[in-house]
Chain A
Amino acid sequence: MLSPSPESSTRLCLWLTLLLGTGCTGGDGLLIEPSRITRKSIPSAGATIPAPRAVTTAPDDTLYLLDNAGRVLVFDRDGNPLRQWNMPESDVGNPEGICVLSDGHIAVADTHYHRVVVFDASGHVLRMIGQEGQGDGDFYWPVAVVEDDSGNRFVSEYGGANRVQKFDSDWGHLLTFGGIGESPGEFQRPSGMVWHDGRLYIVDAFNDRIQVFDGQGRFLEVLGTQDEAGRLHYPYDIALGPNRDLWVIEYGAGRISRFNLEGDLLGRFGSTGSGPRQFGTPWGLAVDSGRRIWVADTRNHRLVSVDP
């Protein structure tokens, strides 16, 4: 009648643990305990519920999101859908990076069309920059766009060149740096960028690190100590919080990691999975002015907000 099920064994263990008055949580003190988490699907597209891929916030906390149905979706600060539009083309593949520029335009890294598409806030195409190639101003799989304080734009690419190109505010090519490899200054999928205080922070996804460059593309450092505790697993996107802290989403580990600007790990949240506090191969992350973190929880096909 009494077969020792795993559940009952666990309970017995818990009981004994309580009786002995000891804990076995193994917490390292770096766990972020969110005050609120929301999870929701993005609007359906025909007979599908697409997966979100990239997400970013505007200064007014409006949320811009890319999905794998080739759409750009706009949400208010509470995640309610406002409007949406389609990419000019998406048969070959869907875009993977989005950035709200200082002039209010939206730049989308149209990855599989090897170009950057600039929209106005209503979704009208203003211009398309670049074509497939490895020359200056050409792209192979552009994956992220970021703007510095002077209005210059950086575009990172993976696949072939694994490089970053810098453009002026009129998308004139200025310089190129990086290349495929594991050495400092080289990349394996530079897939997310943040500009802050003259330093360009780039998540180098498959080298599991964050690299820092100056505005001229000079390698400055690999952020952090790279010790076991702060190790990243496929960091796919990075965002700067209002408290000048860096938030990183890890595709491989399914978690959010928080660092200070010196690279010290400050906290972590999440694991791989489909549960309420888990992420499945998340691609994108954004932080709004209220320090709310938005995560494109790609494999779980949902948009998650986390209030740390």
Chain B
Amino acid sequence: MSTFLERLFPRPRRPFRWSQTISLATFVLLYVTLVVGLELSNTMLFVWPEAFALMLLTPWVWWLHAAGGSGLGRIRGVVALWTRLTLIGLFVMLLAEPRAIRTSDVVAVMYTVDISDSVGRETDDENAQDQALSFVANTMSQKPEGDQAGLVVFGRNSAVELPPAESTPLEEGILLNSLIDRDATNLEQSLSLAAAMLPSENRGRIVLISDGTETAGDLRSILDELKSREIAVDVMPITYSYKSEVWVEQLELPRNIKLGETYEADVVLSSLKAGNGKLVLKENGRTIDEREIEFPAGKSRYTFPIRLRSAGYYEYDATVVVDQGDDSWKENNTVLNFLFVEGEGKVLVVTDPRGNPADHESLVRAIRESERVVEIRNAYEFPRDALSLMAYDVVMFVNVGVEAFDVVQLGAVKDAVENLGVGFLMVGGPNSFGPGGYRKTVIEEILPVEMDITKKKVLPKGALAIILHTCEFPEGNTWGKRITKQAIKVLHPQDEIGVLVYGSTGEQWLFEPTPAREYASLAKKINGAVIGDMPSFVSTMKMGLEGLKKSDASAKHMIIISDGDPQPPTPAVLAEFSANKITISTISIFPHGGREVQIMQQIASSTGGRYYFPDDPSLLPSIFIKESNTLKRTMIQNETLQPEVGFPSSILKGLQSLPQLHGYVLTTAKPRAETILQTPPKENELGEGEIDPLLAIYKKGLGTSAAFTSDLSTNWGRDWVSWDQYRAFVQQLVTRISRVHRKGHLRLWSYTEGSRGTVVVEDFHPDPSPLNLIAAVAGPHDRAESLTLKQVGPTRYQASFPLWGKGRYQVRANAEGDGRKETAHGGLIVSYSPEYLKFNSDPLVLQTIVDKTGGQMLNPSTKPEEIYNRRTPKSSSRQVFDWFLVCLACLLPLDVAVRRVQIDPRVLIASFRPAKAASTQTMGTLLQRKQAVDSRLDAHRDQSPPSHSTPSTEVPRHLASGSTAQTTRTSHPRTLQPKSPPIETTAEDAMSTTERLLALKRRRGENDEPLDSN
């Protein structure tokens, strides 16, 4: 043990002096002062202060120095000691996890504004939402310089309109940019989002403007978090309390009906006080009954007779009409419900609202002659929910482009096909399939063909450049992004598209002309684009011109969408477009006046493009799709061909000698599709025979869908229309894809009860057996739930679920058991948001928020200072690990250098002195010196005995540090200077270095001298 301690703390090689402790004491004092000072001055904090215990090592390091183990001179020794102590000190500080403390006096305020339905309505000629926003704008505009403000709006969900920043561009219509579901109030999510947006280094505050009627989320969970983060919530309450309110609670319809019999529809009405009014019942939008009523306070029930004469889907709505003074909200005065009477299915033919009737006349006639009921609707009248499509066996899109529909309508078709088993047929024409813009839509998903034909066709390429200047109308940039993405979808995948905007760095390509096949990456860029106010068309158009010139496309086109007020292009620029055969189409959207219109017209006319002046942004998609189509007419094959039979099918049963077709749209059959009719093989560039589908069919979900890529009208199909077997073909085609009616024993109905929906299934099987029933519920906001129904009676199964907002819910129940497998369909409608059943604001909730978070109540006359001037600087810390690492990295080589590198000042000085003689003289001197040494060595060898003498025990102890020490100590002649020149001194000089070291080791062993630790 004592040996170990002696080795750890070796005996001093030179006399120890107490004055040597001064260095250690000074260092420790300074170190402690520094660390404590950093902590006390709030400059830095150490997360793991226990690490400072490692500083107990410093006395040991100091002792090694004091014991003279390093063998350094006094000054260098002190420098080396301090360097090492500093190194250790820094390393220990690093282990203690230092964090720099920053104190900020900036106040960041997130305004959190409730825009749910209960707040956004008109009350007493004042809109609470507008009032709230005026308050936000007023206080935001007067916030102190340097403070930050941001804006979150919320309903069911929340969105950041403005992140916290010093500059606050609160512009008109800003709330329209957020896709907020307004049918609920989720205070928890909104406060959570607002808190997350507050910069941690600044004093954060939330200003909540709400009525406090929480209908979603759990507020309590967020309040504790806000308190722990010291985020105070100031609240400006929106208060209301309604004394007069009438609402329709329910419209009850019979569950099982037979055609021709009379049934009752019951309307349940509620009112806060007695009154009178009119109750109106409509069936599929047509008034079938109305009556004057006097209603008491509370609930009352009114019965209407209804009589159904034919099968189909019937939607009823019951509305109560009362004087304005007797009612506060109109939104809850109507309730919808529906009945579906199964019978012979109809065929729904969907046409282009601006299309040619000849496109569908022949087809409709043929279907009617097949004794099927046909309903013709244009795309604008097409239902927006799958439930409405239950009445149809087949839905046909006849030469109608995607731009005529909205996303919801298309989604309903997909839903009806996949889940309700409705058949779907797309009949071709210039506005169908790819040219109709269906690429990458849900319709393409259900069709047996896809629009991407790159694998099979090498078509002339087109290039399109779009200039987006859409920031000057409400939701303009949202529109701009949407229509640009739609335009890309319309393009052929090999076509090139580029988009130009005025972004944060001025005029720029959002992306240069890029093949449309890279839709996914382009869409990301479009979504993230910052589109600013373009001051001039000139530079942007020049950039577009250069980009298009570089493209090797055969057709080049530019689309400009703008209000028209940027600086117009010079005639020279327009002439260059014409010279390069690049057409420009322009779209004026919300121009300021006549001059802008003229400019836009002039650009289009001078380059051979088209000019559009839509009065509604909703027309933009169709314009963009039409314009994009100018590049890709090549997808339409205007050629006469003889169809060939592919996959055998019942559709062609009994048909002979198919007539010729005079055109079709290029598509590619999907792998699972049955291609029943196809084009004759055509040799492509690779010498392969290419076949295009003309009629393809496949099963999609519960339904069957088909694609006829030519038309069935007097255009491409003129020989078919006059064909004597045309009707038979159409009849067999419709029969093949029609919904299959299976006689089931299950009946499903569903209803709402408060905020919950209930699904009930009754089994009417003559020999009922227990079933496993699972219901899939698809509702608003693209949300779906799966429910397991429990048996609640011998033949009855039931389940309930929480409703998630206003809208239509579809229910499909799948039953299995005892060898049976059946499906039943149904649905329910939530007619208005639960927000409209809140007749009082909830100040208690708001007060709780204030109390729990330490905020304050505000009112519309609150001064901005009351929000912003409650400020106490906030400290935050950040890791400064890397700074310490850099310091350590610098000190380490210094530590080594101090101990190991010797710089002889005489050499340094000599190197700066001028040379005393010419170089040849120096060389001569050196040569002379070499000769002298050589002759002396020769003489020495002659005098020495052939073997080495015994090493002397008189070797100075300083040699223990080896040859290095010998060379580094030349500046200390007192201890290092040999008594005679090295060449002539001891026998050791003749030894090799290894021999000398071995000898030294032996001597050490004899002397039992402690080893040098350094």
Contact = CB atoms under 8 A, between A and B. Distances in A.
B508 to A, nearest CB: 12
A39 B145 contact: yes
Interface string B876-920: 000001110110001000000000000000000000000000000
Contacts of A113: 593
A47 B142 contact: no
Given A39-B145, A180-B570, A274-B165, A93 B593 contact: yes
A229 interface: no
A181 B165 CA distance: 41
B1013 interface: no
A276 B166 contact: yes
Contacts of B598: 160
B172 A92 contact: no
A156 interface: no
B535 A44 contact: no
A232 B883 CA distance: 41
B656 to A, nearest CB: 68
Nearest to A9: B882
Interface in A26-62: 38-49, 51
A11 interface: yes
A47 B886 CA distance: 51
B170 A49 contact: yes
B140 A41 contact: yes
Interface string A185-227: 0001100000000000000011000000000000000000000
A276 B168 CA distance: 13
B505 interface: yes
B888 to A, nearest CB: 12
A130 to B, nearest CB: 13
B172 A47 contact: yes
Residue among A19, A38, A45, A233 facing the most chain B CB atoms (10 A cut-off): A45
A15 B506 contact: no
Nearest to B878: A7
Contact of A48 (B172, B535, B539, B568): B172
B882 A8 contact: yes
Contact of B536 (A44, A206, A274, A300): A206
B532 interface: yes
A301 B168 contact: yes
Contacts of A281: 532-533, 535
Given A11-B883, A159-B567, A189-B567, A40 B145 contact: yes
A301 B169 contact: yes
Interface string B553-568: 0000000000001011
A51 B472 CA distance: 13
A188 to B, nearest CB: 6
Given A47-B130, A49-B137, A93-B565, A159 B165 contact: no
Contacts of B145: 38-40
B168 A49 contact: yes
Given A189-B535, A272-B505, A41 B142 contact: yes
Given A41-B141, A206-B535, A206-B536, A159 B885 contact: no
B353 to A, nearest CB: 31
A21 to B, nearest CB: 14
Interface in A151-198: 158-160, 180-182, 188-189
B136 interface: yes
Residue among B134, B137, B167 facing the most chain A CB atoms (10 A cut-off): B167
Residue among A5, A41, A132 facing the most chain B CB atoms (10 A cut-off): A41
B170 A301 contact: yes
Given A93-B565, A206-B535, A302-B167, A2 B504 contact: no
Interface in B139-153: 140-143, 145
B570 A46 contact: no
B567 A188 contact: yes
Contacts of B940: none
A115 B902 CA distance: 85
A292 interface: no
Contacts of A39: 145, 166-167
A2 B142 contact: no
Nearest to B133: A47
B976 interface: no
A285 to B, nearest CB: 16
Interface string B168-183: 1111101000000000
A8 to B, nearest CB: 4
A255 interface: no
A252 interface: yes
B163 to A, nearest CB: 11
Given A159-B595, A182-B570, A299-B169, A49 B533 contact: no
Nearest to B599: A159
B99 to A, nearest CB: 15
Nearest to A140: B595
A37 to B, nearest CB: 9
A251 interface: yes
A41 B883 contact: no
A141 interface: yes
Nearest to A47: B133
B138 interface: yes
Interface string A92-119: 1100000000000000000011100000
B567 A43 contact: no
Interface in A105-148: 112-114, 132, 140-141
Contacts of A280: 167
B11 to A, nearest CB: 41
Contact of A47 (B137, B169, B568, B890): B137
A291 to B, nearest CB: 21
A12 B145 CA distance: 33
B595 A132 contact: yes
A209 to B, nearest CB: 14
A41 B138 CA distance: 10
A48 B886 contact: no
A43 B141 contact: yes
A234 interface: yes
Interface in A232-287: 233-234, 251-252, 272-274, 276, 280-281
Given A12-B886, A159-B568, A48 B137 contact: yes
B891 to A, nearest CB: 12
Given A47-B137, A48-B137, A93-B592, A159 B167 contact: no
Interface string B321-364: 00000000000000000000000000000000000000000000
Interface in B570-600: 570-571, 592-595, 598-599
A188 B570 contact: yes
Nearest to A301: B169
B567 A46 contact: no
B504 A272 contact: yes
A158 B171 CA distance: 26
B538 interface: yes
A205 B599 contact: no
A144 to B, nearest CB: 14
B140 A44 contact: yes
Given A159-B565, A301-B168, A44 B138 contact: yes
A205 B535 contact: yes
A194 B882 CA distance: 54
Contact of A42 (B133, B141, B539): B141
Nearest to A182: B570
A38 B167 CA distance: 12
Given A205-B567, A234-B536, 4 more contacts: A2-B885, A12-B886, A205-B535, A301-B168
The 6 closest A-B pairs by CB, nearest first: A47-B133, A44-B137, A93-B592, A300-B167, A41-B141, A8-B882
17 contacts: A2-B881, A11-B883, A11-B886, A19-B890, A44-B140, A44-B141, A47-B170, A49-B169, A112-B565, A112-B593, A132-B594, A180-B570, A206-B536, A300-B169, A301-B168, A301-B170, A301-B171
Interface of B: 130, 133-134, 136-138, 140-143, 145, 165-172, 174, 504-506, 532-533, 535-536, 538-539, 565, 567-568, 570-571, 592-595, 598-599, 881-883, 885-886, 890
